[in-house]
Chain A
Amino acid sequence: MASTRSAAGRAVARAVGLGAAAALALTACAPGSGSDDGGTPPQPTGPVSTDVADAGDVTLTVWDQEVRGGQDEQITQLNAAFEEAYPNVTVERVSQSFDDLATTLRLALTGEDAPDVVQTNNARATMGQFVAAGQLVALDAYADAYGWRDRYPESVLQYSTYSEDGTVFGEGSLYGLPQVGEVVGVYYSRSALDELGLEVPQTWADFEAALQTAADAGRTPLLLGNIEGWPAGHVFGAVQGAHVDPAQIRDLGLGNAGASWTTPENLEALGQLQQWQEQGWFNEGVNGTDYDAAWQQLADGQGVFLVAGSWLAPDLQDAMGEDAGFFAPPPADGGELATTGGTGIPFSITTAAEEPDVAAAYIDFLTSDDAMQVLADTGNLPVVDTASYAPESGLLADVYTAFGDVSSQGALLPYLDYATPTFGETLNQTLQGLLAGELTPEQAADALEADYADFTSSGG
């Protein structure tokens, strides 16, 4: 037995030596040099075609993150309608959650057999990097052919626009089209508010007073499921909107130089979020609660308010019916209505797509007027001409109103994770730390500032 062991030892030593020698031999050929495409990928330069029927039999692989009730419904309907309109096209749909998309999309785009159309988050960490790596097709020619610039306001398109090297966000070429508008606001249970004798708050101070009233009555004022890390970012977006100048937030969110995370206003916002937690205004253990468990708790009557995005509306409508309500986070006294929002995650075409013309036709189809009607019918918030689809009553009417009010009278602020290639992760970790009391507001602000300043000073 002993001899076996020492022999194994020798084998290890021998193999390590062998490995070192072979590794030296290998260094002649650097990693990545073997792959076929090292240079810039082909971008459609010639005239683009909008004729799908002539393209022959095409299978279009589409990666989306439309997993929630109404989202799933709309994309299923639209895919079927597209296949019916163009029998020569088969749509192969691969759907996964926002989180799983974040962990697998980069790998998928790197793969030999990358999907043709993908939903890719606008952030620098995702769309920005994919543009820089030449993995997404610039859509400008298609925008002209299909008239997308007339269909969409510039304020929407800017969030899907990057310079060709991916460094400038908001200017350059168009790389994706969103289907829906989004606004982060406050869901609530009408019956819970009635029981507590509360009205929908009109100012931020009213909102805080309402939270206090709910807490005093022994209810859980705020629900949050933050095991994924990013949900707290949306709550913070609403809090920050009530404290910090929108122009300042926009610079922070887009990763443009000139702003700072360590201003007194930002510290105050971070402090308020932590204070809410310390006062016990959130459900117990927010960092260990699933995002979806939080809205299910609201539906079960376990809490009063839930700060979250409009994409939860179809699910909550299903679960709560008439009892569910929604309002935009109210402004501070004398302040402007301001909250996180903008557009849903845009659909982009990959440079791996063999039939970019068909892919573009698909995106055009998903964002057409008919598609907007389908979106509205399935409880989503169409991004084009939103107000014209507004229902008359119920939760969705509230959501449309909030979106309309914030976009027309206030400021729809970018998602904070757009800022830098690493900001999503930094923000998640920082807010989890802040909520757990691991970080003081000052430390949290320093951590966020470090990431932001590092990026902006490096000329990004």
Chain B
Amino acid sequence: MSAATAARRRDAAPEAGPARGPSRGSAAHRALSYVVLVGFALLALGPVVTVVAEALSPERAADGTGLRPQNFADAWVQGRFGDYMATSALVALVVVVAATLLSIMSGYAFGTMEFRGREVLFYLFLLGIMVPTEVVVVPLFFDLRTLGLTDTVWGIALPQVAQSVAFGTYWMRAYFRTTNRSLIEAARLDGAGPHRVLWSVLVPIGRPAITTLVLLVFMWTWNEFLIPLVMAPAGRLRTAPLGLALFQGQYTQGTSLLAAGAVLVALPVVVVYLVLQRHFIRGMLEGAVRE
């Protein structure tokens, strides 16, 4: 994670566009660059296009030829993706709201206040960014089962809140450290307590950093596989990726509906990504230490 700290301190985010200055590169260099650019982009898109094309193709000859958007509706019903997506949305809502609020508060304390044990506590949080899910999920299952929390939204959400809080604390602390001290001082002189300073002054101007955090946590939670697999064994609460993995085994008639299901599961995050990609890329480059 310290490496990520280094990246965080990088002045220019990858916004850096085409280089200016004398073009020694010559036309050949530029042509080669375009070839690489296009080739690489095609390679990156290829599998995505393949699965979308498959999702739109008729399952069997009887379904006729040409595009078949009907597959999405069929997959939605047969694969019960409505239920799965609803579960995913609920879990994501809980994790995003809880992790964001808790991270803002703890990041605020670590970033703007002096207190005993600050360093140790902060590094304790950093540690959590590196801990693989695999190691905690085993005892979590047995302990949460004893508490009756398995097969509940909480059982799926709280472990993910904990993981996200580890990253979120690190991320929000970095933001609060860059905020202008005189702003905080001015608000204090106006008689604002620490809560008012946070929620009325710092949070509104920190929207970009918070948005990035919200997006990353949403993406991680939506895409998580192992925790919902283990924490909801009764099968009543299945998230979208888990539902897709099971649909792969369950659906025996071909591959088009499976591909359609895969597109459905990926769609929410991809749409948000396409709309807010700058936040995503910034967040992933500067702080994607969690994954």
| Chain A interface (Cβ < 8 Å from any Cβ of B) | 1, 4-5, 7-8, 10-12, 14-15, 31-32, 34-36, 61, 63, 67-69, 92, 94-100, 104, 107-108, 110-115, 292, 296, 315, 319
Contact = CB atoms under 8 A, between A and B. Distances in A.
B236 interface: yes
Given A94-B235, A97-B250, A107 B230 contact: yes
Contact of A5 (B2, B9, B229, B235): B2
B146 A108 contact: no
Nearest to A61: B234
Given A4-B5, A94-B235, A292 B252 contact: yes
A296 B252 CA distance: 9
Contact of A8 (B126, B150, B230, B250): B126
A315 B252 contact: yes
Interface of B: 1-2, 5-6, 9, 60, 119-120, 123-124, 126-127, 139, 141-143, 145-146, 148, 150-151, 229-230, 233-236, 245-246, 249-254
A66 to B, nearest CB: 10
20 contacts: A1-B2, A7-B123, A15-B123, A31-B139, A31-B142, A34-B143, A35-B145, A68-B252, A95-B250, A97-B246, A97-B249, A97-B252, A98-B249, A107-B141, A112-B145, A113-B150, A113-B233, A114-B233, A115-B235, A292-B252
A4 B2 contact: yes
Nearest to A312: B252
A1 B5 contact: yes
A114 B234 contact: yes
Contact of B145 (A15, A67, A110): A110
Cβ-closest 3 pairs across A and B: A11-B123, A97-B249, A94-B235
Given A104-B233, A113-B234, A114-B234, A34 B250 contact: no
Contacts of B250: 67, 95-97, 100
Contacts of B246: 96-97, 100
A68 B250 CA distance: 8
Contacts of B5: 1, 4
Nearest to B231: A111
Nearest to A8: B2
Contacts of A34: 143, 146
A69 B253 CA distance: 9
A10 B148 contact: no
Interface centre among B143, B146, B250 (most CB of A within 10 A): B250
Given A8-B126, A94-B236, A107-B230, 10 more contacts: A32-B142, A35-B146, A92-B236, A100-B245, A104-B229, A110-B233, A112-B145, A112-B148, A113-B150, A292-B252
Given A11-B124, A32-B142, A35-B145, A67 B151 contact: no
A15 B124 contact: yes
A108 B232 CA distance: 8
Contact of B233 (A5, A35, A107, A292): A107
A98 B9 CA distance: 51
Contacts of B2: 1, 4-5, 7-8
Given A8-B1, A15-B127, A96 B145 contact: no
Contact of A112 (B60, B124, B151): B151
Contact of A104 (B120, B146, B235): B235
Contacts of B126: 8, 11
Contacts of B245: 100
B74 to A, nearest CB: 14
B148 A96 contact: no
A459 B136 CA distance: 36
A96 B141 CA distance: 22
A112 B236 CA distance: 13
B236 A14 contact: no
A82 to B, nearest CB: 19
Contacts of A99: 249
A115 B151 CA distance: 11
Given A67-B252, A104-B235, A112 B150 contact: yes
Contacts of B145: 35, 110-112
Contacts of B253: 69, 292, 296, 315
Contact of B235 (A14, A31, A63): A63
A319 B59 CA distance: 12
A31 B143 CA distance: 9
A15 B253 CA distance: 52
Contacts of A68: 252
Nearest to A105: B233
B60 to A, nearest CB: 8
Contacts of A315: 252-253
Contacts of B143: 34
A113 B249 contact: no
B63 to A, nearest CB: 13
A434 to B, nearest CB: 24
Contacts of B148: 112
Nearest to B5: A4
B1 to A, nearest CB: 6
A98 B126 CA distance: 41
A226 to B, nearest CB: 15
Nearest to B245: A100
A379 to B, nearest CB: 14
Contacts of B123: 7-8, 10-11, 14-15
A93 to B, nearest CB: 10
B150 A1 contact: no
B120 A111 contact: no
Contacts of A319: 60
Nearest to A18: B124
Contact of B151 (A4, A12, A96, A111): A111
B236 A1 contact: no
Contact of A96 (B119, B146, B249): B249
Contacts of B151: 111-113
Contacts of B142: 31-32, 35
A252 B245 CA distance: 34
